[in-house]
Amino acid sequence: MLPKSSDVWRSIFILLAGVVASAWGQSPTRTLSIKYGEAEQKLTFNPNLISEGEVRRFAQLSPNASEYSLNLSPTLELCVAGKPEYLECGTRNLHAKNFYHNAEINMKKGSVALRNLADLQHPRELDPIVEYLSSSLSFALWREQTRLEFYKSWNLNLLRRDHEDLKPNALCSTVIQAISIASTEDEKYRLAREWSTCLFRARPQPYPEAAWRRFLKTYGITELVEEEDTD
């Protein structure tokens, strides 16, 4: 007696499932290592699910790397000796002869990072993270650009300007009042840095870690971050 057609298809399905499972079990995994300062990010992935190029591109969105790789808190004072885009660093404050030049470089770098985020093609699992990082970087750039404009003019009204739903004149009234009566530029400079910190604390934005975990799980990626032992 010939087997029923349903039995034949069931046997074919079982055979194919076995082949797929065997191939899956033999699928190669790769580990991509990326260094961020004193830390090393290791991402192990299946190239059948996601390419190495995509893993490298999305690695910068990790909660363990984004602050470093995207410079989410760009500061006017940043200056890296030996980097061609910076002029001599000096004291890295208002008294440095190249302070304004180097500060503008940092603002441009932040703007480029923001554009790169906007242009990043990514899976929907990463939507909350891209939105969070874009918002955080945009806010940091606004604070530092405002601070830079204040140093160039010492116009206190610049620090009072609203930003979206934030009202610095109310939230950071104490530091703004202190700036208004400060007698030296050094004091105003220091207090304006406190103004930026005050606004940062007034708008806490927790990283959406659940979205990152979903992304890793969906694409079969494991992440390990190792800190260098400096002892």
Examine residue 200 and state whether it is found in any structural domain, yes or no: yes
* pLDDT tens digit sequence for 131-141: 999 999 999 99
Q: Of the candidates 200, 105, 185, which has an alpha carbon nearest to the alpha carbon of residue 150? A: 185
The pLDDT of residue 72? 73
pTM of the model: 0.81
* pLDDT tens digit sequence for 147-185: 999 999 999 999 999 999 999 999 999 999 999 999 999
**Which H or E run contains 40?**
strand 39-45
The pLDDT of residue 229? 63
pLDDT tier for residue 203 given thresholds of 50, 70 and 90: confident
The pLDDT of residue 129? 95
Query: In terms of DSSP bridges, do strands 39-45 and 222-227 run parallel, antiparallel, or are they unpaired?
Result: antiparallel
The pLDDT of residue 18? 46
What average pLDDT does range 74-86 have in this prediction? 92
Bigger pLDDT: 29 or 10? 29
What average pLDDT does range 212-220 have in this prediction? 95
- Work out how many domains the chain is built from and give that number: 1
Examine residue 171 and state whether it is found in any structural domain, yes or no: yes
| Alpha carbon distance 66, 133 (integer Å) | 8
Tokens of 95: 């008294």
Examine residue 175 and state whether it is found in any structural domain, yes or no: yes
Q: Which domain holds residue 202?
A: 155-206
Answer yes or no: are the C-beta atoms of 203 and 165 closer than 8 Å. Answer: no
